Amino acid sequence: MERKGFVLKGTSQSVEMIIGQVTPVADILQQLDEVLARRGDVMGRLPFVLDPGDRQLSDAELTAFEQFFVDHHLDYQLPQLEPAVDPREVLFPLPACDPTIIVDHTLRSGQSVTAGGNVLVVGDVNEGAEVHAAGSIYVLGVVRGVVSAGESITALGFEPSRMTVSDVEYEGAERGFRDARKAQTVFVEDGTIHIELAGKRR
């Protein structure tokens, strides 16, 4: 049992009020009332900054603090309420990345897409078109243009004019691709480019 429900720390600009983790708010306020009755002349001129530490205060408790400060004609500052947390996000957190950009047509010469996340192209990436993605690129068509991805590139056909995965350049673009019209995934392992049938990777 905490003996006293809070600690006061005076600075030149404010009085920081660090409250205990378990003492009921009503008790804290009663103790504060007593302190103010004794020393209010000194502390009453500075704003009170409420610091709950790790303690989660309910709306009602915060309102009780607010009401107390208003009643005592004190300046005050309440902690910012954390936004309500959806329990599903705690259980199934989404990966922290940009959403996938979906391009619903063939990218033609002169068109380009750059994304912080993944890119899905429903169509071809023609020669003269470019796709750059920090994540992966998926092409439901043939890659003929310039593509670079941070993670991997999957397509139904490969005839790229230039291709880079994880900053490793594919050297074979000049020679042409083996099995250029199969669904394959290009990724980097141990600093070298690997090409495997799509879906077979690990």
Partner 1 sequence: MGRVIVVTSGKGGVGKTTTTANVGGALTTLGKKVLLVDMDVGLRNLDLVMGLENRVVYTFMDVLEGRCTAEQAMVKEKHAGGALMLLAASQLHNKQDLDLDKVKEAVAALATGFDYVFLDSPAGIEHGFEASSAPAEQALIVVTPDVTSVRDADRVIGLLENKGVRNCSLIVNKYDRTLIERKKQLTSDDIVDVLGTELVGVVPEDKAILDATNRGDILVLSQSTPAAAAYLEIARRLEGDETNFSALSTGHSLLSLFWRQK
Name the residues that contact partner 1, by CB under 8 A. Answer: 105-111, 123-124, 126-128, 144
Name which of 31 and 111 has its Cβ closer to partner 1.
Answer: 111
Please state the closest distance from residue 111 (CB atom) to partner 1, in A: 5
Query: Amino acid identity, residue 135?
Result: G
> Shortest approach of partner 1 to residue 172 CB, angstroms?
20
Give Cβ neighbours of residue 15 (< 8 Å, ≥ 6 apart). Answer: 8, 9, 43, 46, 47, 48, 49
Nearer to partner 1, 14 or 111 (CB): 111
Nearer to partner 1 among residue 20 and residue 145 (C-beta): 145
Could you tell me the smallest distance in angstroms from the CB atom of residue 163 to partner 1? 18
Task: Identify which of residues 100 and 161 has a Cβ nearer to partner 1 in the complex.
Answer: 161
Counting runs of H as helices and runs of E as strands, what totals does the chain give?
Answer: 3, 15
CB of 135 to partner 1, least distance (A): 24
Q: What is the largest CA-CA distance in the chain?
A: 88
CB of 105 to partner 1, least distance (A): 7
Burial 86-97 (b: 16+ CB within 10 A, else e): eeeeeeeeeeee
- For partner 1, which is the closer residue by CB, 45 or 105? 105
Nearest Cα to Cα of residue 68 among 43, 48, 46: 48
Q: Is 191 left (phi over 0), alpha (psi -120 to 50) or beta?
A: left
User: Which residues, in sequence order, are CB contacts of 160 under 8 Å at separation 6+?
Assistant: 143, 144, 145, 146, 147, 170, 173, 177
- Work out how close the CB of 122 gets to partner 1 at its nearest, in angstroms, rounded to a whole number: 12
Q: Which is nearer to partner 1, 119 or 165 (CB)?
A: 119
